[in-house]
Structure 1
Amino acid sequence: MKQKNSLSTKRRLAQILAILRKHHLAKGIDPVKFRMILEDLGPTFVKIGQIMASRQDMFSQRYCRELVKLRDNVASMSIETVKSVIKNEYHQKLSDVFLEFDEIPLGSASIAQVHKATLKDGRHIVVKVQRPDIYEMMERDISLIRKAVKILKLNDVLGSVVDLNIVLDEFWHTAKEEMDFLNEAHYARKFAYLHQDIQYIEAPLIIDEYSTSKVLVMEYIDGFEIDDRIHLMEAGYDLREIAAKLAENYIKQIVDDGFFHADPHPGNLRVRDGKIVWIDFGMMGILNRADKDLMKDAVLAIGQNDTQKLVDVILTLGEHDNRIDYALFYDNIETFMKHYVTVDLTDINLGDVVQEIFVIAHKHRISMPKGVSMLARGLVTIESTVMLIDPHISIIEIAANHVANHLSCHLDYQKELTNAIKNLYSASQNMLHIPAQLSDVMRMIMKGRLKVNLDMMESSVPMNAINHMVNKLVVGIVSAGLLMASSLLCTTQMTPKVFGIPALGFIGYMTAVGLGIWLLLTVLKERKQKK
């Protein structure tokens, strides 16, 4: 068995090398060629590319935009393969479990494919069937990539831009979660529980007794695709209402629940019986309480044009090993904020805002944690989905209103407030934030992420002048030390002697005098040059 796996690995390595030669990798690479290589390399590499596309804080914007085009266009499994997987999981033949089973899949992706079916009791369902040996195949590919990174020393080349091991670790963690369908079942139930009080949001019911780690069975959702504008309007739906409710719900998932759908494209959304139904919970983003609060602060910072608040949020959230040029980073964020200060919230494209923030973070080598990078991708995707339904809806305006209403039930943020009340509120908010800020500082210290940045670029004293001053100070201290030491030596009867003085003390005296004269001449020379 071990030999078989070894041969399989060798064949896969040969296949990878052949694909790289086909694309003439030695002649250089560009975003389009890179995407095509990943598509040819197969499911593992497509998944890695999709993760890279969401990491604008790690990769250049050109590559991220191109990698967004990656899709899981994978050839479907044969019905014999599907029957084999179901038999292995249920220990029964497919016909013994289902009354009807549509052999043509509804969709086929790199990890699984979905079929419509009917249970023996007449319930209409969908069956998500995992590809056999997909775990072993992806594990083998990851192992090969890690070896290539080590042999080619790619991290030495790309270390200042990205740590490839971080990308591979994130991919493998996400892939393993996605390949255990019991995780998806748990996420679907949790999502339904968090939205049980919202009348216009639904999730498909999971059929637990038929669900395993490799086969997931859930309620079949009919209705309309959420971007099917024509049929929705014919059925009497208000497109603007659907778009507004979808956007409001997604913001609620982020800032209230900290548990959000990470892939909100139109294919994962339906409209049925006046409700928006979310489906496919394979990829869900999770934010802890501190990160949720920081997301609220980020939305308010953009809405209130508060540069300092946004800088604090990014530095608290971000992970960075190198020293940050705080002044330049602040200037970049301030320039970003000034670009939007005169723009009405309804005219701001959230995707552009997210992209710009991540580009700035990438420039300063600040990488975001997994949950935040998934959030960035989700926000860009949900905005494009909402725009397909109603292009006049502003997600950032909805987000700002949601956060403002959430944070203040009794405070009025309207322009009618007097400047005095605004200032009082601002001061009180700053005081209330002190414990939270101290908590953030302590958390950063515990994680080893706290960095103190001293900016001397605006100082009137150049760094070379400071160095020169320190050198003179050191010479003065050494000269004084030699003088005192020599004086002590002169009180002894140490031999040999020069002019009746111990020789060592005499040498110390002369060295101290020489250093003192040099220091005096240097000071006089500098004073003369200034005049």
Structure 2
Amino acid sequence: MEQKILSSRARFAQILSILHKHHIEKGIDPVKFREILEDLGPTFVKIGQIMSTRQDMFSERYCKELMKLRSSVTPMDFDTVQTILNEAYQKSWTEIYESIDMEPLGSASIAQVHFAQLKNGQSVVLKIQRPYIYERMERDVSLLRKAVKVLNLSDIVSSVIDLNMVIDEFWTAAKQEMDFTNEAMFAKRFKRLFKDCNFVYAPKIYDEYTTHQVLVMEYIEGIEISDIEKLDSEGYDRVEIADKLAYNYISQVIEYGFFHADPHSGNLRIRDDKIVWIDFGMMGILERRDRELMKDAVRALALRDTTKLVDTILTLGIVNQEIDYPAFTNEIERFMNQYLNLSFSEMDLGVMVQDVFTICHHYHIALPKGISMLARSMMTIEATLNDLDPSCNMMKIIANHKATLTHVDLGKEAKKIASKSIDAFVKGLDLSVQSSDVLKMVQRGQVKVNLNLMGSEQPIAKIDRMINRLIICILIAALLMASSLICTTDMDPKILGIPALGFVGFMSALAMSIWLFFKMLQLHRRNKSF
């Protein structure tokens, strides 16, 4: 059996030691951050992998570096595997399985995979969860929160990431991933949605043998989609496979809002002229509202409607601070102008997605988890498609759905207009009463109205500087007048025959005048250079 977890104190000391070893107090960069996560172990590697999918929250260079993270974990020994299975089934695994291969097919931070045969001779794959993995991750998450406070990590990396947000999102995702019944549910849902598609397949899930810690599914003996030589030798048309794969993926997104979020070549097989999707541990879900807004965004791109795209992004996103709307609109306008003379199918999806996420990151606009997963997933599927067919362009496939995206359902729109009209009429009746009530509250001083002009910061700053200089001029004049009055008296002590207080006043006025003169000269030169 795997070694039990370290005590919280020992693990906390280990975490602090690793952070100090990398001199975290001196700042952070993408490579250092990745190396720290790798040294901290599986829990933190998993956090980094989740972070790499959130390009709306983290800069492009961090996401690219974190994509290099791989879960390199020593496989469990077979005695541990047997113990886990016996505990999960409350009986010997030999009563269910004819045999289980001792060597795993793969080993990751949360689980490892073994080939097995049921008593009836059917070949299956067992995904077996590591012992104490939940307890280890729960402990590490708790200790990470403490380390963030102790080392003031939030202050050190605040310009790069919101650590508390990352920890919360990771722990939510990890708890779902560690319950294999969720993955089983996703796999069955995917299989059900595409049961009538004659070129797509998903493995069968054996519910009777699946538990929270053990997932049992049909073994797929096919050709990995990246094995180009074998596909060619078996006579498969790679261009056709790429077209079908892209079409199916876009259908997942647009028609169902339920898509495979990790479509790399290792999760795709070709068997009996069908594309087989495997490993449903990471699935993206788009709510109906988000799906409609995404259609609006694609429609805005197709029609080159900047205002619509800006409004859609702001509606979709979570805005954590005040947005400079004119500057944000200009940024999107520049983005749109890059594609002004390109046809819909000539656009590079990966570059477009990265550009939009870079803009959102700059303006601190966080997008819903489903949208950020989709962006990462789209770039992954593009790489997979390019391996199959270098000429394949994801936007060409989206262009085939353009009619769906830009089509207006007159009946549906009529219902929307009717509903909005009734709503507007009812609200219109209330408006006069509400306006009267608000005006009365303003008169009584119960309501205060603040006006905030976007983009007014620079003019206001200039006015502020002008007022400050005017105040200094008034002070200089006051000092000169006061000092002159003092000089008419015979006040002691004296400096150079002048009352000391008057002398200090003259010198102060002179110093302030010289300072103001040089400031104005400096400003004049700066304006002239522009």
Shorter-chain TM band: 0.7 to 0.9
Aligned length: 436
Q: Offset of 1:246 from its aligned partner?
A: 0.9
Does structure 1 residue 231 correspond to structure 2 residue 217?
no
Q: 2:42 aligns to what?
A: 43
Structure 2 residues not aligned, in runs of 5+: 428-450, 468-530
**Counterparts in 2 of 1:393 and 1:410: CA distance versus 1, 3 Å:** farther
**CA shift for structure 1 position 161:** 5.4
CA contact (8 A) 1:106 1:116 kept: yes
Query: Distance in 2 between the 1:263 and 1:435 partners?
Result: 40
Shift of the 52–453 alpha-carbon distance from structure 1 to 2, 3 Å rule, reads farther
Q: In structure 1, what is the equivalent of residue 190 of structure 2?
A: 191
Residue of structure 2 in register with 1:278 after alignment: 277
Q: Relative to structure 1, is the Cα distance of residues 28 and 465 closer, same or farther in structure 2, using a 3 angstrom cutoff?
A: closer
Aligned equivalents of 1:351, 1:113: Cα separation in 2: 32
Instruction: Report what 1:20 is aligned to.
Output: 19
Alignment-mate amino acid for residue 342 of structure 1: N
Computed over aligned residues only, the root mean square deviation of the Cα atoms, in angstroms, reads 3.0
Query: Does structure 1 residue 402 correspond to structure 2 residue 401?
Result: yes
Task: Pick closer, same or farther for the CA change 1:401–1:108 going to 2, 3 Å.
Answer: same
Equivalent residue number for residue 366 of structure 1: 365
CA–CA separation in structure 2 for the residues paired with 1:154 and 1:370:
24
CA offset digits 1:492-523 (Å, max 9, x no partner): xxxxxxxxxxxxxxxxxxxxxxxxxxxxxxxx
What amino acid is aligned across from residue 186 of structure 2 in structure 1? Y
Aligned residue type for 1:455: M
Checking the alignment, whether the CA contact within 8 Å between 1:203 and 1:279 is kept in structure 2 is: yes
Q: Distance in 1 between matches of 2:457 and 2:302?
A: 30
The 2-side partners of 1:384 and 1:468 are apart by 57
Q: Which residue of 2 is the match for residue 247 of structure 1?
A: 246
Structure 1's 326 and 161: CA in aligned 2 closer, same or farther, altered over 3 A?
A: farther
Q: CA deviation at 1:152?
A: 3.2
Q: In the alignment, what sits opposite 1:167?
A: 166
The alpha-carbon distance between structure 1 residues 199 and 453, as it changes in their structure 2 partners (threshold 3 A), is farther
**Residue 467 of structure 1, CA deviation:** 12
**Structure 2 CA distance, aligned partners of 1:20 and 1:433?**
60
2:90 corresponding residue in structure 1: 91
Distance in 2 (alpha carbons) for counterparts of 1:208 and 1:434: 45
Shift of 1:279: 0.6
Mean Cα deviation higher: 91-100 or 136-145: 91-100
Could you tell which deviates more after superposition, 58-67 or 394-403? 394-403
The answer as to whether partners of 1:325 and 1:453 remain within 8 angstroms in 2 is no
| Percent identity between the two aligned chains | 54
Partner of 1:338: 337
Contact 1:320 1:366 in 2 (8 A): yes
SS in 1 for 2:401: helix
The 3-state SS of whatever aligns with 2:365 is coil
**Residue aligned with 1:17, SS:** helix
User: How far apart are residue 10 of structure 1 and its match?
Assistant: 1.4
Distance 1:336 1:108, change over 3 A: same
C-alpha contact 1:300 1:404 (8 A) present in aligned 2: no
Indicate if the aligned counterparts of 1:248 and 1:402 stay in contact, CA closer than 8 A.
no
TM-score normalised by the chain length of structure 2: 0.76
Q: How has the CA–CA distance of structure 1 residues 283 and 173 changed in structure 2, closer, same or farther, with 3 Å as cutoff?
A: same
Q: 1:29-62 deviations in whole A, cap 9, x for unaligned?
A: 3212211221121111011101111111211211
CA shift, 1:384, in A, is: 0.9
Q: Work out whether residues 323 and 453 of structure 1, in 8 Å CA contact, stay in contact via their aligned partners in 2.
A: no
1:219 shift after superposition: 0.3
Q: CA deviation at 1:385?
A: 1.0
> What's the CA shift string for 1:364-400, capped at 9, x where partnerless?
0111121111111111111111111111111122113
Contact 1:345 1:394 in 2 (8 A): no
Partner of 2:256: 257
Q: Does 395-404 or 149-158 show the bigger shift?
A: 149-158
Structure 1 residue 363: Cα displacement: 0.5
Contact 2:59 2:160 in 1 (8 A): no
1:297-316 equivalences under 5 Å are 297-316=296-315
Give CA deviations for 1:339-366 in whole Å, capped at 9, x if unaligned: 1222344443322211111110011011
Q: Which amino acid aligns with 2:237?
A: D
Give the TM-score, by structure 1 length.
0.76
Pick which of 297-306 and 105-114 moved more: 297-306
Unaligned runs of 5+ residues in structure 1 are 412-427, 443-451, 470-531
Which residue of structure 2 aligns with residue 117 of structure 1?
Answer: 116
Q: Does 1:329 align with 2:303?
A: no
Q: Secondary structure at the match of 1:340?
A: coil
